[in-house]
C-alpha cells in the first residue's frame, strides 16, 4: 500500500472545500440519487460521494456500506484527487501497489474494483470524488466512464447550487441577482439530466438503444401508426455461445459491436435498432410495408455474412407486423415465435410471423 501524497496547492484546495460548508452536513436525497444512478450504470453494489478533508475522507453519500468517514491515508479517493482531470480506474486493487495492502482490500468489504471521477470546485480544485466500487474485479466500458464523468459534474453543480442557496439566505437584499444565478444552474442541471437520461437508454457495449428505449419507441410507433403499421424484427446471432466458448468473450464483444455497426448504418433515420439482451437485437420499422420490411431483413442477413471479422457469422430473424388490437408485447412475442421457427428450420434465414 502506498500512502497518497499531498496534492500541490493543498492549502488552497482545503480553503475551496471549506467554502462550500458541506462537511458534516446531513445526507441529501439529491446526492443519494446520483450515487444510485452511477451504481446502476456501472453495475456495482457500492458507491459514494466523498470529500477529502485535511486528515479524513468524509461521505456525503454512501451506499452498500455503513460509515461516516475514514482516514485519508486509507482512502482510494485521496489518490483520485491527485489527477483532477482524469478518471481513476482500478480493475483489481490486489494488483495495484497503491491499494494492495489497504485495509478495505485485505479486509471488509474486500474492494477489488474501483472507479472515481473527481469533484471539481468552481476554481478547479479536486475536492473529492463520485466513485463506484465492487468486491470483484471488473472493467469500465467507455460509455460507463463517460456517464460517471457526467454524473461527477452534476454532483459539483449540486454543491454549487447548495452554496448559492446558503448565500441567498444570508443576502436577502441581493435576492433578484441570486435568483437569476440559481435559475441558470437549474437550467444547466436540467440539461445534464437530459443527457444522463439519454445515456441510461443506451446499451454501453454497442451504443445502440436498450430494451427500455425500444419499449417506449415501439409504443409510440403503434400510437402514431397510420394506414401502415410498424414492423418489428428480432435478430439473433446463430451459435453465439460457441463464439464465446471457443474464441473468448472479447471476440464475442467484437461480433456484437460489428453487428451493431451494420444495424446503425442500415436503419439510422428509418427506424430504430436496439440491443434486446445478450446476442438478441430488435429492429423497429415504423410505417414499413411487410414486403419492404422482409427485403430489409434479407439484406441485413446477407450483410452480416460478409462482415470482415474472420469468423463465419450468420443471423436468424423473426419478423412481425403489428396488428390492430394487440399490444406491443404481443407483437414482439409473434416476432420471437417466428425467430424460433427460423432457428428450427436451420438458421440463417428470415421467417415472417403468421
**Active-site residues: which are they?**
279
Instruction: Please tell me the chain's helix, strand, coil percentages from 3-state DSSP, rounded to the nearest 5.
Output: 50, 20, 30
The Cα 325–Cα 315 span in angstroms is 30
Where b means 16+ CB within 10 Å and e means fewer, 65-86 reads eeeebbebebbbbbbbbeebee
Residue among 37, 68, 34 nearest 53 (CA): 68
The Cα 174–Cα 180 span in angstroms is 10
Cβ 72 vs Cβ 55: under 8 Å: yes
Cβ 91 vs Cβ 143: under 8 Å: no
Cβ 109 vs Cβ 44: under 8 Å: no
Cβ 86 vs Cβ 116: under 8 Å: no
Cβ 332 vs Cβ 282: under 8 Å: yes
The three grid cell numbers given for residue 277, joined into one nine-digit string: 439482451
For residues 338, 343, 349 and 354, what is the CA-based torsion angle, rounded to 10 degrees?
-20
Integer-rounded Cα radius of gyration of the chain = 25
Count of CB atoms situated within 10 Å of the CB of 254 = 17
Question: Measuring CA to CA, how many Å separate 333 from each of 235, 321, 327?
Answer: 13, 11, 10
The Cα 333–Cα 213 span in angstroms is 18
Amino acid at each position: 500500500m502506498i500512502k497518497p501524497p499531498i496534492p500541490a496547492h493543498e492549502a488552497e484546495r482545503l480553503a475551496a472545500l471549506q467554502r462550500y460548508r458541506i462537511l458534516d452536513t446531513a445526507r441529501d436525497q439529491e446526492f443519494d440519487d446520483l450515487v444510485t444512478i452511477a451504481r446502476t450504470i456501472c453495475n456495482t453494489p457500492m458507491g459514494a460521494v466523498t470529500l477529502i478533508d485535511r486528515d479524513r475522507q468524509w461521505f456525503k453519500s454512501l451506499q452498500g456500506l455503513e460509515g461516516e468517514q475514514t482516514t485519508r491515508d486509507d482512502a482510494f479517493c485521496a489518490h483520485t484527487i491527485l489527477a483532477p482531470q482524469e478518471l481513476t480506474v482500478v480493475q483489481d486493487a490486489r494488483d495495484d501497489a497503491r491499494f494492495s495492502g489497504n485495509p478495505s482490500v485485505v479486509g471488509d468489504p474486500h474492494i477489488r474494483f474501483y472507479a472515481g471521477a473527481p469533484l471539481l470546485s468552481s476554481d478547479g480544485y479536486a475536492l473529492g470524488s463520485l466513485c463506484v466500487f465492487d468486491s470483484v474485479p471488473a472493467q469500465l466500458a467507455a460509455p460507463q466512464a463517460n456517464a460517471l464523468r457526467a454524473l461527477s459534474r452534476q454532483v459539483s453543480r449540486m454543491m454549487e447550487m447548495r452554496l448559492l442557496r446558503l448565500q441567498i439566505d444570508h443576502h436577502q437584499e441581493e435576492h433578484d441577482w441570486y435568483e437569476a444565478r440559481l435559475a441558470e444552474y437549474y437550467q444547466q442541471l436540467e440539461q445534464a439530466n437530459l443527457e444522463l437520461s439519454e445515456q441510461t437508454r443506451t446499451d454501453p457495449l454497442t451504443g445502440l438503444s436498450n430494451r427500455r428505449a425500444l419499449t417506449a419507441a415501439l409504443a409510440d410507433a403503434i400510437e402514431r401508426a397510420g394506414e401502415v403499421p410498424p414492423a418489428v424484427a428480432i435478430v439473433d446471432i446463430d451459435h453465439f455461445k460457441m463464439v464465446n466458448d471457443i474464441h473468448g468473450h472479447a471476440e464475442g464483444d467484437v461480433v456484437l459491436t460489428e453487428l451493431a455497426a451494420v444495424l446503425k448504418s442500415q436503419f439510422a433515420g428509418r427506424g430504430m435498432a436496439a440491443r434486446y439482451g445478450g446476442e438478441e437485437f430488435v429492429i423497429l420499422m415504423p410505417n414499413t410495408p411487410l414486403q419492404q420490411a422482409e427485403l430489409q431483413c434479407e439484406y441485413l442477413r446477407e450483410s452480416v455474412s460478409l462482415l470482415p471479422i474472420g469468423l463465419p457469422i450468420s443471423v436468424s430473424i423473426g419478423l412481425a407486423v403489428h396488428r390492430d388490437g394487440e399490444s406491443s408485447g404481443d407483437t414482439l412475442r409473434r416476432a420471437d415465435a417466428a425467430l424460433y421457427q427460423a432457428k428450427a428450420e436451420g438458421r440463417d434465414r428470415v421467417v415472417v410471423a403468421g
